[in-house]
Amino acid sequence: MEDIVIRNLCKSFAGKPVLRDFSAVLPVGQVTGLMAPSGAGKTTLLRILMGLERPDGGTIDGLAGLRLSAVFQEDRLCDNLDPSANIRLINPTLGRRETEDALAAVGLAGCLRQPARELSGGMRRRVAILRALLAEYDLLFLDEPFKGLDRETKETVMADTRWRCAGRTVLLVTHDVAELDAMGAVVRLDLST
């Protein structure tokens, strides 16, 4: 795997520029943090990198053939499935014990058999994070992954996330510098400049 190189990326919606000549390098095996005010194009950049949106101009090198995983701003769980089944839906090679151990590590041992629709917002968020972390991936996108978690839970989940993605290539979008610090972000990009 090589560094992901973004050159002069541009994107507009209805004639309004969202990304203007954005260039950056996402170093392989590192956490890169991306910060900017709301509406500055952070999620648009992620959608382009994931292939969900096409740029108007610019190039991206280093993505070909990579397996991608993501925590979106929305949890996007299957409401009728329990947490373990939601995770194994993305990675069916995981055993039940491995999945349940991961859920216990983020404080979800007590809800293993509950359908996702019965979980609180913070519980759903933790399942969504684990689903992305336990997928087989080369590049992980985290779009404001820790929003909605109380301080203590957030600290636990950030520590678990950092441990699980150590040595992996990660792009973390956040409004919180403390999250970048907790995740060990080596490179910090700012879309607002």
In the prediction, which pLDDT does 87 show? Answer: 96
Query: CA end-to-end span of the chain, whole Å?
Result: 29
The pLDDT of 177-187, averaged and rounded, is: 90
Q: What is the CATH number of the domain that holds 58?
A: 3.40.50.300
117 with 72: CB under 8 angstroms?
A: no
CA distance 119 to 138: 29
Q: Any residues with CB less than 8 A from the CB of 44 and at least 6 apart, and which? A: 11, 18, 19, 53
C-alpha Rg value of the chain to the nearest Å: 17
| DSSP assignment letter at 66 | -
Q: Are residues 49 and 3 in the same domain?
A: yes
Q: Are residues 184 and 144 in the same domain?
A: yes
Q: Are residues 131 and 146 in the same domain?
A: no
Tell me how many domains the chain contains: 2
> How many H helices and E strands in the chain?
6, 8
Q: What are the structure tokens assigned to 2, written together?
A: 């090589």
pLDDT, tens only, 18-40: 999 999 999 999 999 999 888 88
pLDDT, tens only, 133-174: 999 999 999 999 999 999 999 999 999 999 999 999 999 999
User: What pTM, to 2 d.p., does this model score?
Assistant: 0.93
* Residue 10, burial from CB neighbour count under 10 angstroms (0-12, 13-18, 19+): middle
Q: Are residues 123 and 159 in the same domain?
A: no
pLDDT band at 193 (very low <50, low <70, confident <90, very high): low
Q: Are residues 104 and 42 in the same domain?
A: no
Q: Are residues 103 and 9 in the same domain?
A: no
For residue 174, the enclosing domain spans 1-67+137-193
Q: Any residues with CB less than 8 A from the CB of 107 and at least 6 apart, and which? A: 126, 153, 156
